[in-house]
Homo-oligomer: A and B are copies of this chain.
Amino acid sequence: MSTNMDPGQQLSQDWWRTEIIEMRPGEIRYRGYPIEQLIGQVSFAQMIWLMLRGELPDRRQGELLDAALMSAVDHGPQAPSIAIARMAATCGVGLNNAMASALNVLGDVHGGAGEQAVELYQDIARRIDAGATQDDAVKDALRDWRERHGKFVSGFGHRFHPVDPRAPRLLELVDRAAADGVVTGRFAGIARAVEAALGEGRSKPIPMNIDGATAVIYAELGFPAPLARGLFCLSRSVGILAHAWEQTQQGGRNKGPMPKQFLWTYDGPPARDVPPDNRSD
């Protein structure tokens, strides 16, 4: 036996360092608050906020976050994440594993639109703070956006829904919260200005979608952009779990993406023989 450690060496005390949770035997505090006080006083959405931000939101802020979370749980088995959850459930792995394979694909393209929309809104806000008119700020931010990301603006337009039924309803909640002073309403205004700019001169508008609308809420509530993706992951995990569970109950073994009679198109090299001298033996 040989050890690679210096046995006299003491463990540096702060290899794992956190501001989130403190524990002693019989005691658990999140951000300083004892868990037994939080339970029954604080909703799941408020707890999510506390864990991510460090302070408790008030009830109305918590409800706005709650609405964003509950509105994005699922968009059907055509979404890669949901299809993956359902296929995984037929492969003999646990519910947690099926959820992980699905959650894992909520990357820039599938799960990043909310984050990108928050970034766009914040960029516009910064330009206004620096003295630009809202019109110029929107126009310039969109131009820069398209240079970096291409033609489609995350959070606006939908390949399936002419109008995404979730967006106007979420904006209504934001407006109500702004009227009551819960949020400023600034990012709702910015998002509507983006929507107007995108539709300008077109016969068909490009309305805000679920990602654009939840991004308004996350921006209004002061979440940094990357957490828009994190919150979307929490939200979509619900649909992922529901579909994995439904598929488990339906049964099926090694369920592929399409019925068995549809395989795939092969357009590689035609049939050929292995040349004789590839190996020495």
Contact A47 B265 (CB under 8 A): no
A104 touches B78 (CB 8 A): no
A38's closest neighbor in chain B, by CB? B274
Interface stretch among A14-22, A123-131, A139-147, A190-198?
Answer: A14-22
List A residues 38-69 near B (Cβ within 8 Å).
38-48, 51-52, 54, 56, 58-59, 62-63, 66-67, 69
Complex Cα–Cα for A111 and B17 (A)? 24
A80 x B74 contact (CB < 8 A): no
Complex interface: chain B residues within 8 A of A99 (CB): 103, 230, 233
Cβ B95 vs Cβ A110 within 8 A = no
Copies of this chain present: 4
Q: Can you spell out 20 A-B residue pairs with CB atoms less than 8 angstroms apart?
A: A5-B263, A20-B242, A35-B71, A36-B169, A38-B274, A40-B173, A43-B45, A47-B70, A59-B279, A78-B256, A80-B256, A90-B109, A92-B110, A95-B226, A96-B233, A97-B104, A101-B102, A230-B245, A257-B258, A280-B281
Is A227 among interface residues, defined by CB-CB distance under 8 A? Answer: yes
